Amino acid sequence: MDTPNRIVTDSTMPARLFSRRSGLLAGLGLLGTAALSGCSPQPLATGASASISPGIWSGKLAELEQDLGVALSVCAFAKGGSTLGYRAEEPFAMCSTFKTILVAALIDKYAHSEGYWETEVPVDPAKLLDYAPIAKKFAGRSMTITQLCDATARYSDNTTANLLIEQLGGTSAVTAFAAAKGAPNTRLDRIEPEMSEAKPGDDRDTSTAKDLAGIYNSLLLGNGLDLTGQAMLRSWMLRNTTSAQKMRAAIPKDAELADKTGSGGYGAMNDVGVIFRKGKPPVTLAILSRGVNAAPDTDGNAEAIVKATEVTLTALG
């Protein structure tokens, strides 16, 4: 789950964008510097454009782990430039970062089905979870698919995420979509809130930094979605409300961020997204973390996300 910085619902803007393909593409001006260009991840190695060596970068992350009592997994690459990996193929709990994949799977299936996005889905008060900042306002009523996606992608609402999982056909459909988009080590086994348990050693509901960086890159910059679908996903993720104290706190003021955060038990805290820097190539970055010898109710360490972002952006130049 995640705690939003503010509650400002804006489900009408995506609905307007979805109304016609031509209208959607005309709305790309809303995305600022986030140009719709391809970017494919390279092998885990550092290119000539890096500002510091991979050894120094890895050492700085190891220092962060020691100082903050966390375990980190990081994968990052800049378009046409360097790629960095630190324990990038080790499984970590996904927590709410799966919600981007969930929304993208629906977009991939229904982006051109104009009427689908206004389909109304009942919000059963009996299924309302503790963390449901948007869904609780609709308890006993209905939300459109557009509203469910907005709440899930921007506010990390657990109840709306579960409703979207039902729409897609279950957790296995999320896993299958991830595999089809080049993330074979990503699996969703449970719904919220159980999937955010994040118990160490449990392979359920896990992914790797390499997988998540790769699929986010594909969906937001590459060919994972068509032009219409990519614009739909970006329109939500560029307006995420949960990252002010995480990755967003570490990026340049004039940069844009399309990301999804996540947190769970045992000190799990993640942030994955694309950073659109002014005058520089975009950076795709996945940072996964968990507490070391942490109790089930241990909170995640946002400072670890912020500092790992700073170190990595410095390494990438």
Active centre residues (catalytic): 96, 192
Distance between CA atoms of 138 and 142, rounded to whole angstroms? 6
* Residue 222: DSSP 8-state: S
Q: Where are the beta strands (DSSP E) in the chain?
A: 70-78, 83-86, 92-93, 120-122, 142-144, 206-207, 256-263, 269-276, 283-291
Please name the helix (run of DSSP H) or strand (run of DSSP E) that holds residue 181, with its range, or none.
Answer: none
* Residue 72: DSSP 8-state: E
Beta bridge partners of 272: 260, 286
Of 58, 73, 94, 64, the residue nearest 194 (C-alpha): 94
User: What's CA 279's distance to the chain center, in Å?
Assistant: 24
Distance between CA atoms of 286 and 305, rounded to whole angstroms? 10
Of 227, 232, 249, the residue nearest 310 (C-alpha): 249
**Which amino acid appears at position 120 of this protein?**
E
Residues near 17 by Cβ (< 8 Å), separated by ≥ 6? 23, 24, 27, 231, 232, 235
Phi, psi dihedral angles at 90 (to 5 degrees): -90, 135
User: What's CA 82's distance to the chain center, in Å?
Assistant: 21
Distance between CA atoms of 314 and 294, rounded to whole angstroms? 30
Q: Are 84 and 315 in contact (CB under 8 A)?
A: yes
Terminal CA-CA length for the chain: 32
